[in-house]
């Protein structure tokens, strides 16, 4: 029995925030943002929408495209760093309630931008062990709720959104998730951090006055580590599975920065047409970025059933990972 990627869905929030809009908010320019990141636009949730609302919309699409009844989903894993509530209930439980699914395993995971690949690994283990049959994994973020719109070094980078997938079973290797690798190094915990609001610096007026509830990033240091780590990680998963870039139909990386994707893509000799790029339109949507990119490629008609996807990701923790996954959605 193999685990299989049975469907994809996504939700793009309604409000567009362009680089020109950001020029009105902080000391930045369309030219700087495009040149350094490749980002042109991002979408933001409304004030009324929380992460579970975005997740719910993506999950509905993924369940419908899987051809399963919602009652057949027996676990929900939500990867997010912007949960509806600080401690509890988990966003996965809130989404389960919105979907009308009861009495199943539901929990959140915190692996920042790597959350979707981490979730994929857990879902694969659930399914291959026989513990669960159909697992809904979601990457959903309302990044605008933790972005400091007075800090030009971070606020130009992030957007909101959600993506979801159903992981089920198959007995055919050509329909399977071939491999997933996840890793971390806590030594670099301060490279991407929201310092305030947790048990170390609980919420207080002082925390708020110092903007410690917002995301902080050592951008340049993170950039260098991301390129080196991802190149090694992707090379390793290909070699381990006896594959080369020629065997991959689409390289679908985490969409943080065009320059990171380009550097890794070049080192691995991927031709341009195999590299999936959505960063210009959505910015960095953290755990949602990979499933949103898969969904874009599927909806544009490029990603077909049977295609072999190579995913890679890098984010706060630091965490990273890669995956070799056949796209096995049978219905639309």
Q: Provide the binding-site residues for ligand UT7, judged by CB under 6 A.
A: 28, 32, 36-37, 113, 152-153, 156, 192, 219-220, 222-223, 226, 256-257, 260, 284, 314-315
State in angstroms the smallest separation of the CB of 222 from ligand UT7.
4
Q: Give the β-pairing of 41-44 and 15-18.
A: antiparallel
In the set 257, 284, 295, 328, the catalytic residue is 284
The answer to whether 163 touches 8, Cβ cutoff 8 Å, is: yes
Q: Which is nearer to ligand UT7, 24 or 246 (CB)?
A: 24
Q: Is 220 a catalytic residue?
A: no
Q: Which residues of 118-134 are buried (b: 16+ CB within 10 A; e: fewer)?
A: bbbbbbbebbbeeebbb
φ/ψ of residue 292, rounded to 5: -65, -40
State in angstroms the smallest separation of the CB of 254 from ligand UT7.
6
Q: Which is nearer to ligand UT7, 156 or 177 (CB)?
A: 156
Q: Which is nearer to ligand UT7, 205 or 220 (CB)?
A: 220
Closest residue to ligand UT7 in the complex (CB): 219
Q: Is 284 a catalytic residue?
A: yes
Q: Is 241 a catalytic residue?
A: no
Q: Which is nearer to ligand UT7, 159 or 168 (CB)?
A: 159
In the set 78, 93, 121, 254, the catalytic residue is 254
State in angstroms the smallest separation of the CB of 158 from ligand UT7.
8
State in angstroms the smallest separation of the CB of 230 from ligand UT7.
9
State in angstroms the smallest separation of the CB of 172 from ligand UT7.
34
Q: Which is nearer to ligand UT7, 37 or 66 (CB)?
A: 37
Q: Locate 50 and state its tokens.
A: 């929380």
In the set 78, 93, 113, 155, the catalytic residue is 113
Residues assigned a catalytic role:
113, 254, 284
């Amino acid at each position: 029995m193999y685990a299989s990627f049975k469907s994809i869905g996504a939700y793009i929030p309604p409000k567009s925030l362009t680089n020109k809009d950001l020029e009105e908010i902080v000391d930045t320019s369309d030219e700087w943002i495009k040149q350094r990141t490749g980002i042109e636009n991002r979408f933001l949730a409304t004030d009324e929408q929380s992460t579970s609302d975005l997740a719910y919309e993506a999950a509905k699409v993924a369940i419908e495209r899987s051809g399963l009844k919602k009652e057949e989903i027996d676990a929900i894993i939500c990867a997010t760093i912007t949960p509806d509530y600080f401690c509890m209930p988990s966003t996965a439980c809130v989404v389960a309630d919105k979907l009308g699914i009861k009495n199943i395993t539901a929990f959140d995971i915190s692996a920042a931008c790597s959350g979707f690949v981490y979730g994929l690994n857990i879902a694969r283990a659930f399914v291959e062990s026989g513990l669960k049959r159909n697992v809904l994994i979601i990457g959903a973020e309302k990044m605008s709720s933790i972005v400091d719109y007075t800090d030009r070094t971070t606020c130009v980078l992030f957007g909101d959104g959600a993506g979801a997938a159903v992981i089920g079973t198959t007995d055919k290797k050509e329909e399977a998730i071939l491999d997933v690798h996840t890793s971390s190094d806590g030594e670099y915990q301060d490279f991407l951090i929201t310092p305030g609001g947790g048990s170390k610096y609980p919420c207080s007026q002082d925390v708020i006055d110092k903007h410690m509830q917002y995301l902080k990033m050592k951008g340049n240091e993170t950039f260098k580590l991301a390129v080196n780590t991802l190149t090694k990680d992707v090379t390793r998963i290909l070699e381990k599975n006896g594959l080369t870039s020629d065997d991959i139909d689409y390289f679908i990386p985490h969409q943080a920065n065009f320059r990171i994707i380009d550097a890794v893509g070049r080192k691995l000799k991927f031709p341009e047409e195999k590299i999936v790029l959505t960063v210009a339109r959505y910015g960095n949507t953290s755990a949602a970025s990979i499933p949103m990119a898969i969904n874009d490629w599927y909806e544009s008609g490029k990603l077909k059933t049977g295609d072999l996807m190579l995913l890679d990701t890098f984010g706060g923790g630091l965490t990273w990972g890669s995956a070799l996954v056949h796209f096995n959605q049978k219905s639309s």
